[in-house]
Amino acid sequence: MTDTPLRRFPELPRSLAGGGLLPLLRFFGPGAIIASVTIGSGETVFASRGGAIFGTALLWCFIGGGVMKFVQVYSAARFITLTGEHPMERWRLLPGPSGWAVWVLAVLTIACFPLWLSGLPKMLGGLVVWIGGLEDVEVWGDARLWGTLFVLAAITLTMVQSYGALERMQTIIVGVLLCLILAATFASQPDWLAVVHGSVVPVVPHYPAWVADKYPVVAARSAWIEMGVYLGAIGGGSQDYFGYIGLLREKRWGLMADSSSTMATAPVPIAEDDENLERGRRWLRAPLADSVGSFACVVLFTMAFMILGATLLHPSHIVPSGLQLLSVQADFLTNMHPKLLYVYQMGVFTAFFGTIMGAYELYVRTTHECLRPVVARVREMSISQLRPWVVCYCGIGGVLIMWLGGNPVQIVTPAAIFGGVLTCGLWCLLMVWTDRRFLPPQLRMGKLLLVLNIASGLFLTGWGIRGVFDFVGAL
């Protein structure tokens, strides 16, 4: 017998105690941050780039990537809701040297921060140069200068804003952009049969002949690396998701109402009477609603941008590349009306700046969750105490890489492969072990979620390993 009192789930709010879907919408909050943080690069740039190069043939991979990342995120969100513990706290207990899995994932994840926060500001800087017609201006025509200014602005706002303000702002950004892009998609009158075919019939990626003739730099990259970047950028990666799971603590769902780290080695002692178990299952509707809302937005954006790329750019043999990663997509809205150019420019600018600003706050949470299981000093620090250190690391590292590195796609490639594919696959496989080892049988994943975790883990890990070999071989 143990002296530790059995944990009981708190009373359910009315929206979870009853039935119906509409009340669950109020639980969509942290997921809006994930959706908006990934829209800036994943959907706006890489989904349209994929459509421009491959047409609709690879829609299956983009949709599948979104589904697999939903499985990854929801599995961890349900675990922290049921136990009050971030999965990272349990991964330190994997057999082998103490905390080895946590260190591997933490190093691979945190190393990606400056890469994303150099590539994204550089893309945004290129957008401003295009909007302002500054291409031939000696100083202000440099995308790196504008990118640096946006980094400084994002850091300033990150240091003073509250979580609630961030969540509200990002929710608005997601809603406005989703309406505009879906309208543009239907207005472009795509070949819907080709869309359906590309969504359900898997094909191996290969470049059309015209890509090598017109874009030799693009064709020089392995198609596996190109697809690895798409998979890594679409829906975000571990650098976002570790922080997202940490953000859920703000919501205090389930046992997160008391989620202080105990560094325990035994499973959380959950009372297993029928009433408490049913209450725990009911609490899972909150993270499910948030995760479904987030990745539904991600998949819709992904499909819309890829369809637009396939419909408007692919026939003209135009690929977003170099620093022209955002300007060529203006046709997505100007085809409906020329004055929508300004709407596109404002919308994409807002999305990208929201992405950068949201990323800083997410990366603070990610660092905290990754290191606190293995570093006592971080475990004792509050988010506000850790924030200046992480922001400085991301800001200084990002600006240096932005000024010294190549084009934005080259900069984010290793981050997308390692942080957006490989570590995501490992996460899914680790969640299977965590679920079986630390949850009572009545609260473990069902067969469908278990199979999806294994399949997602094997696919993402395998593709990530292949992408790493091709990337290293191309250096």
Question: What mean pLDDT comes out for the span 87-100?
Answer: 92
SS3 readout for 250-306: HCCCHHHHHCCCCCCCCCCCECCCHHHHHHHHHHCHHHHHHHHHHHHHHHHHHHHHH
Amino acid identity of 245? I
Question: What mean pLDDT comes out for the span 132-154?
Answer: 86
Is residue 94 a contact partner of residue 236, using CB atoms and an 8 Å limit?
no
pLDDT at position 177 is 67
User: Assign residue 31 a region: left if phi > 0, alpha if psi is -120 to 50, beta otherwise?
Assistant: alpha
Handedness of CA 83, 89, 91, 94 (dihedral sign): negative
Instruction: Quote the CA–CA distance of 279 and 469 in Å, as a whole number.
Output: 47
Local confidence band at 400 (pLDDT 50, 70, 90 cut-offs): very high
Instruction: Quote the CA–CA distance of 309 and 457 in Å, as a whole number.
Output: 29
Instruction: Quote the CA–CA distance of 273 and 90 in Å, as a whole number.
Output: 25
Total-model pTM: 0.86
pLDDT of residue 112 exceeding 70, the answer is: yes
Q: Which helix (H) or strand (E) holds 10?
A: none
Question: What mean pLDDT comes out for the span 4-24?
Answer: 74
Please choose, from the candidates 422, 399, 45, 28, the residue with its C-alpha nearest in 3D space to the C-alpha of residue 224.
422
CA 341 to the chain's CA centroid:
27
pLDDT of residue 3 exceeding 70, the answer is: no
How many CB atoms lie under 10 A from the CB of residue 289?
A: 21
Superfamily (CATH) of domain 31-474? Amino acid/polyamine transporter I (1.20.1740.10)
pLDDT in tens, 30-57: 666 666 666 655 667 788 888 889 999 8
Please choose, from the candidates 428, 414, 181, the residue with its C-alpha nearest in 3D space to the C-alpha of residue 304.
181
Phi, psi for residue 444 in degrees, rounded to 5: -75, 165
Phi, psi for residue 321 in degrees, rounded to 5: -155, 170
The pair of structure tokens assigned to 89 is 């706290």
pLDDT at position 50 is 87
Task: Domain ranges for the chain, please list them.
Answer: 31-474
Please choose, from the candidates 391, 451, 415, 369, the residue with its C-alpha nearest in 3D space to the C-alpha of residue 157.
391
Instruction: Quote the CA–CA distance of 375 and 377 in Å, as a whole number.
Output: 6
Three-class SS of residue 455? helix
pLDDT at position 1 is 40
Question: What mean pLDDT comes out for the span 167-185?
Answer: 69
CA 403 to the chain's CA centroid:
25
CA 109 to the chain's CA centroid:
12
pLDDT of residue 364 exceeding 70, the answer is: yes
Instruction: Quote the CA–CA distance of 225 and 416 in Å, as a whole number.
Output: 10
Number of residues written out for the chain: 475
pLDDT at position 145 is 92
Q: Where do runs of H (alpha helix) occur along 85-237?
A: 87-91, 100-110, 113-132, 143-160, 163-187, 192-200, 209-214, 216-219, 223-233
Q: What is the per-residue burial (b if ≥16 Cβ within 10 Å, else e) of 90-106? A: bbbbbeeeebebbbebb
Instruction: Calculate the average pLDDT of the chain.
Output: 84
Q: What is the radius of gyration, based on Cα positions, of the chain? A: 22
Higher pLDDT, 64 or 161: 64
pLDDT in tens, 221-269: 888 888 888 888 787 889 889 988 988 888 888 888 765 555 777 888 9
Amino acid identity of 262? T
How many CB atoms lie under 10 A from the CB of residue 435?
A: 22
Local confidence band at 302 (pLDDT 50, 70, 90 cut-offs): confident
Please choose, from the candidates 149, 152, 132, the residue with its C-alpha nearest in 3D space to the C-alpha of residue 141.
132
pLDDT in tens, 272-297: 999 999 999 999 988 898 888 888 87
C-alpha distances in Å from residue 172, one per residue of 33, 39, 168, 210, 321? 10, 13, 6, 40, 29
pLDDT in tens, 330-350: 667 677 677 777 767 776 777
Higher pLDDT, 231 or 97: 97
